[in-house]
Amino acid sequence: MKVKETYTGFTGVINPGRFAFFVRLEEDGAYIDYKDICAQAIHFNLVVLVGEPFLQKEEVAKFCKKVLKENNKAHIEIHTSGLYKPRGISSTKVRYIVHTKLKNSGLKYEDRIKESSLNWFNQAEAFFVFKIKTEEDIDDANLIIRTFEITKSNIYFEPLNIDEESIKGVIEYGKYFGYNITSRLDKILWEQYNVRGEHERRSE
């Protein structure tokens, strides 16, 4: 696998605050045999893959299978943009978290939404996270949610900013539409206490 870095830290969204072993996968990372990464990962009951894991879908599938075989208490959490589908992963111990890009990302629709992949993740009961700042972001998110018929219980609104006003606004949006909300606990911990989390080096 092409690995940018590995580290321990705390999860920040969906199920925040859990101690885990993180693997950041990026195309410009150093190649490391998945078995060597697995030898570290099996000592943790939660393993989190970030970056864009499914650009390396074959290696990721082999890694996941080996981790779950070596540690029957382990669970794996994979963060993805939703542009690429996994291959060869069928375990219920693997959870997908799709960080679905909105217009506020500055990307064109075709660069942030791939319909076949989002449909696949929806069928796989993935969690979908939308970064929200304005009412326009809400409209954009709701259009995607309706188009792909995303299960309401799997939808999370996350404030694009973590100031009090932004968080309050997202809470109100979540209550109105009946969606879940989440905040970047990992980012808060990192900024305030120098405790690493899953996204502190990601520029979003």
Task: Say whether pTM exceeds 0.85.
Answer: yes
Q: pLDDT > 90: what percent of the chain?
A: 75
Q: pLDDT > 70: what percent of the chain?
A: 89
What pLDDT sits at residue 96? 97
- Please report where in the chains the tokens 């690493």 appear, as a residue: 196
The CA distances from residue 7 to 67, 128, 138, 170, 181, in Å, are 16, 24, 34, 30, 27
What pLDDT sits at residue 202? 41
The residue ranking higher by pLDDT, 186 or 103, is 103
Residue 190, pLDDT > 90, answer no
Selection from 25, 17, 28 nearest residue 1 by Cα: 25
The answer to whether the beta carbons of residues 86 and 54 sit under 8 Å apart is: yes
pLDDT mean across residues, the chain: 89
| DSSP per-residue letters across 84-132 | S---S---TTEEEEEE---GGGT--HHHH--HHHHHHHHHTT-EEEEEE
* Phi and psi angles of residue 152, each rounded to the nearest 5 degrees, phi first: -55, -40
What pLDDT sits at residue 191? 55
For 76-102, what is each residue's pLDDT tens digit?
999 999 999 999 999 999 999 999 999
Alpha carbons 6 and 9: distance in angstroms, whole number: 10
The answer to whether the beta carbons of residues 20 and 48 sit under 8 Å apart is: yes
What pLDDT sits at residue 188? 57
Domain ranges of the chain: 2-193
For 108-121, what is each residue's pLDDT tens digit?
999 999 999 999 99
Selection from 185, 140, 182 nearest residue 158 by Cα: 182
> Which 3 state secondary structure label does DSSP give 196?
coil
In this structure, CATH architecture of domain 2-193: Alpha-Beta Horseshoe (3.80)
What pLDDT sits at residue 39? 97
